[in-house]
Structure 1
Amino acid sequence: MTQELNDAALLRYSRHILLPEIDIDGQQRLLAARVLVVGAGGLGAPALLYLASAGVGQLTLVDDDTVELTNLQRQIIHDMGTLGQRKVDSAAARLAAINPDVQLRLLAERLAGERLVTEVAAHDLVLDCSDNFATRHAINRACVAARVPLVSGAAVRFSGQLAVYDVRDDASPCYHCLFPDEGEASDGPCATFGVLAPLVGVIGSLQAVEAIKLLAGRRPALGQLTLYDALDGSFRQLKVPRDPDCPVCGQR
């Protein structure tokens, strides 16, 4: 059920409504939106917190993992009291405490195949907050097939990256245009190489920024890869053209 902009909602979201780029119309779009977030860990934690607080109407949380002590260094949606719980349950409790009006769907599983395609097609936007290439490519293929926009983030060590893909726009690349799926199926998980705790907060928050812009009717940063180096504090934006011969999105 879509939330309504009653008096309480007008007060809750007043700082959004004051922005002419969002206003009441954009906030209503957020309230009606359905967003699929794959991963309730380092990237998913800040993204989910901001999407819920911003009033996204329905959030579907996908994660088949449980909360461990090593997660608490960076996965700020979980805490000591939820150790051993499913991550989707731990995250849902926190999100409900922030904004009880947001509808939450919990999928404690690893989506794949037709199940993944079906779930993607039932949403307005997907956030890829996973940590491996195989999952990212599967999500990308499902988003291209369903013509659903995708906000992708990644972070390891001191380096993070962000990109928005939307094949409804003829000029937009897809994830495969940037990162072919040949070779290794992992980009180096933080369990092996480590990750700076606030780095995932930076990238996950940027994913929420792009998601909210897109859902509110603003144009996201398509055809652009944002790179963040936490060691020297620099951001770089690289233009990324669509690959007309891409085996995933070349035929539209």
Structure 2
Amino acid sequence: MSVDAQASSGIPPLVEPGPELTVEEIERYSRHLTLAQVGETGQRRLTNARVLVIGAGGLGAPVLHYLAAAGVGTIGIVDDDRVSVSNLQRQVLHGVEDVGDLKTESAARALVRLNPLVAVQQHPVRLNAQNARDIVAGYDLVLDGADNFGTRYLVSDACALAGIPCVWGSILRFEGRVSVFWSGRGPTYRDLHPEPPPAGEVPSCAEGGVLGMLPGTIGSIMAAEAVKLVTGIGEPLLGRLLLHDALAMTWRELRVVADPAAPPVTEVSDGVTRADGPGVCERGSGAAAQSGAGPDAAGAMVEARELAEMLDRRAAGSAEFALVDVREEWERRLVSIPGAIPVALDALLDRGIEALPAEARGVPVVLHCKSGGRSGRALTRLQPDFANREETVRHLDGGVLAWVRDVAPHLPEY
């Protein structure tokens, strides 16, 4: 029966069975052994598998938990971030006692507590074009829970070059998506998104928010797809995109096909890396790369340390400008840059320069938000209004997050 189940998908198991299970393993994984589709052979495949998880955050938390519980023998974790209080709303792998620690370390501790029989390999680095291929090459399967387009393209390219599948998930607000990409057997992430969407069209979770329970739903599906691929059972989401709306509590499925005319991936990059041209999704830390602030945005940005010097000069009476905060009131209550003037983003987008209060008229203006996305939109709206004025309008590159990181590390992130 196990052989028939494996043959149903037409995709053989990814991993050969490992050694015979110990008595401890038989007891721990008995519910899997009871499933005819998995059985002892399937469990031995799981214990012999090497699975890499990109991100130990919202999606990574449930993915890692369930992979460890299922007995995946070696689990790799890629993440260079540290646990913050704002993570705890959805990243249930971490706790209050882990705040400030590397997410890879916190996650590794949690997995060992759950299942000391698994081996955890930490990669506390940011995935980039130089390291992605080497890291991915050591694993049988990758689960991509990245929160940005640049990393998703990196993972897709590295998996394509390694010839291994990638289980991909994405979440934002109340919606989640899951699919399986596998170059040579089906579509890749580049077939779903040949190029990144227009800058500013898709906000990050930090800007757009996310329902705390949604990562659990999507992450659990990703883990289930991983188990199916490792053991060779069921019908994986290869060529299928599963869409979930948690508000409406609905599920939809779309077909995704590989583009037969697309040139092959020849290198790993965070941009478009096909043989027909240079990358167009170069990842940057500033809002110009992610906020839709337009072609002039790069020259209209202020670095955090530069802003600190400007504020010092303003306090000494040798500079004059208005710092405008377009965030929500609750965000300002958590952390604010001294001397900022609150102005509603919607008002700026609707009325332009007319929405600025009197103290922000007739002087240069620096806009800011949390990470640069919203202030970039405000900048785009205000630039035509400032075109024929002596005053300039710019915005803070990286927003409050950059201010906390580079100028005021004693302040909390959120």
- Which residue pairs with 2:165 in the alignment? 149
**Alpha-carbon distance in structure 2 between the residues aligned to 1:136 and 1:56:** 23
| Pair 1:20 & 2:47 matched | no
Report the 3-state secondary structure (helix = DSSP H, G, I; strand = E; otherwise coil) of the residue aligned with 1:197: coil
- Which residue pairs with 1:192 in the alignment? 207
Contact 1:62–1:109 (CA under 8 A) maintained in structure 2: yes
Q: Which structure has the larger Rg?
A: 2
* TM-score when normalising by structure 1: 0.94
Q: Report the alpha carbon displacement of residue 220 of structure 1 after superposing the two structures with TM.
A: 1.5
Q: Report the alpha carbon displacement of residue 185 of structure 1 after superposing the two structures with TM.
A: 6.5
Q: Report the alpha carbon displacement of residue 112 of structure 1 after superposing the two structures with TM.
A: 1.5
Q: Deviations over 1:183-206 (max 9, x none)?
A: 547742111000000111101111
Contact 1:30–1:215 (CA under 8 A) maintained in structure 2: yes
Report the 3-state secondary structure (helix = DSSP H, G, I; strand = E; otherwise coil) of the residue aligned with 2:232: coil
**Alpha-carbon distance in structure 2 between the residues aligned to 1:138 and 1:56:** 24
| Unmatched segments (≥5 aa) in structure 1 | none
| Pair 1:202 & 2:217 matched | yes
Q: Report the alpha carbon displacement of residue 114 of structure 1 after superposing the two structures with TM.
A: 3.8
Q: Report the alpha carbon displacement of residue 111 of structure 1 after superposing the two structures with TM.
A: 1.9
- Written as runs of structure 1 = structure 2, the 5 A alignment for 1:1-252 is 5-169=21-185, 172-184=186-198, 187-218=202-233, 219-248=235-264
Q: Report the alpha carbon displacement of residue 115 of structure 1 after superposing the two structures with TM.
A: 1.6
Inter-CA distance 182–81: structure 2 relative to 1 (3 Å threshold)? closer
Inter-CA distance 15–156: structure 2 relative to 1 (3 Å threshold)? same
Inter-CA distance 182–47: structure 2 relative to 1 (3 Å threshold)? closer
**Alpha-carbon distance in structure 2 between the residues aligned to 1:20 and 1:119:** 34
Q: Report the alpha carbon displacement of residue 120 of structure 1 after superposing the two structures with TM.
A: 1.0
**Alpha-carbon distance in structure 1 between the residues aligned to 2:126 and 2:193:** 22
Report the 3-state secondary structure (helix = DSSP H, G, I; strand = E; otherwise coil) of the residue aligned with 1:203: helix
**Alpha-carbon distance in structure 2 between the residues aligned to 1:8 and 1:53:** 14
- What is the one-letter code of the residue matched to 1:213? K
- Which residue pairs with 2:359 in the alignment? none
Contact 1:199–1:230 (CA under 8 A) maintained in structure 2: yes
| Unmatched segments (≥5 aa) in structure 2 | 1-17, 266-273, 276-414
Q: Report the alpha carbon displacement of residue 248 of structure 1 after superposing the two structures with TM.
A: 4.3
**Alpha-carbon distance in structure 2 between the residues aligned to 1:116 and 1:59:** 16
Contact 1:224–1:237 (CA under 8 A) maintained in structure 2: yes
Contact 2:180–2:239 (CA under 8 A) maintained in structure 1: yes
- What is the one-letter code of the residue matched to 1:178? L
Q: Report the alpha carbon displacement of residue 182 of structure 1 after superposing the two structures with TM.
A: 4.2
* TM-score when normalising by structure 2: 0.58
**Alpha-carbon distance in structure 2 between the residues aligned to 1:221 and 1:182:** 22
Contact 1:57–1:103 (CA under 8 A) maintained in structure 2: yes
Report the 3-state secondary structure (helix = DSSP H, G, I; strand = E; otherwise coil) of the residue aligned with 2:190: helix
Contact 1:3–1:101 (CA under 8 A) maintained in structure 2: no
- What is the one-letter code of the residue matched to 2:230? L
**Alpha-carbon distance in structure 2 between the residues aligned to 1:154 and 1:185:** 18
Inter-CA distance 70–4: structure 2 relative to 1 (3 Å threshold)? farther
Q: Deviations over 1:167-225 (max 9, x none)?
A: 242xx111100112245477421110000001111011110000011011224121000
Q: Deviations over 1:126-170 (max 9, x none)?
A: 00011011110111011011101000000000010000012242x
Deviating more after overlay: 211-220 vs 88-97: 211-220
Q: Report the alpha carbon displacement of residue 121 of structure 1 after superposing the two structures with TM.
A: 1.6
Contact 2:77–2:104 (CA under 8 A) maintained in structure 1: yes
**Alpha-carbon distance in structure 1 between the residues aligned to 2:47 and 2:222:** 18
Inter-CA distance 239–104: structure 2 relative to 1 (3 Å threshold)? same
Inter-CA distance 149–139: structure 2 relative to 1 (3 Å threshold)? same
Q: Report the alpha carbon displacement of residue 245 of structure 1 after superposing the two structures with TM.
A: 2.0
- What is the one-letter code of the residue matched to 1:63? D
Q: Report the alpha carbon displacement of residue 4 of structure 1 after superposing the two structures with TM.
A: 5.1
Identity of aligned residues (%): 45
